[in-house]
Amino acid sequence: PKVAIDRTTHASNFYHTGFVHYPWKSKSQNDPELPVETTIDDDVMSMAGLYFLIQFPKANENLESQLKGVLQFLGEEGIGGERSSGAGRFCLEWDELPPPWQKVIEFSKTQANYQHGLLSLFWEKDLSSAWITDSDRYALQERGGWIVSPFSGRQQRRKALQMFTEGSVFSTLPQGNLADVTPYDHQGKPKFTQHSVYRNGFALSLPVHP
């Protein structure tokens, strides 16, 4: 249970918030040698979670280190809603792709008669109607949300986008772009000028046999 206070009238509004928990167990139950000062987060062993795939075009230790730092920061800050209540926090694990997945990723590009199934959202600027064929199957989803920036001073909505959803299938390999979602007012002037705001529209796809 939580209470929201109207900023104008100061009226209270009582409501409930639900949380989804992934399975977990306590490390201290299996390791009595853990120090007494172990925090709650350090004592949690996740039994499930979320993952994503990333491929570097070439080895880049500096970029890899920066990415790990960003993900570590997101894990401490939290992602999604109710971050101020401690939701959305996670611990980062960095693993190599196991052999079964390597076989899926490293498919033969000379193999004919396959299509491309999206594992991610996909957006591309100035995508022509000729790019989509009659054999393609897809769905669109509007993605909006709010800016999370220490420079904003207040929450502002990002520009909304129509994006192809996960599970869409295309005959042509989807590539995608970064989308500038910096908010503008009705006169076309930027409402947020400290820095640009982007949404990732690059596609991650796998071969699909029709």
Displacement of CA 185 from its chain's centroid (Å): 26
- Taking the C-alpha atoms of residue 173 and residue 183, their distance in angstroms, rounded to an integer, is 30
* Whole-prediction pTM: 0.57
Residue 143, beta-bridge partner list: 161
Q: Quick one: tokens of 12?
A: 């209270």
**89 Cβ neighbours under 8 A, 6+ residues apart:** 41, 75, 76, 77, 78
Residue 142's pLDDT band (boundaries 50, 70, 90)? very high
Question: Mind listing the pLDDT tens digit for each residue in 145-199?
Answer: 888 776 656 677 888 999 999 999 999 999 999 999 988 777 777 777 778 889 9
The mean pLDDT of the chain is 82
Residue whose entry in the numeric block shows the structure tokens 């076309």: 188
Conformation bin of residue 163: beta by default, left when phi > 0, alpha when psi is -120 to 50:
beta
CA distances from 49 to 37, 43, 91, 167 (A): 26, 16, 10, 20
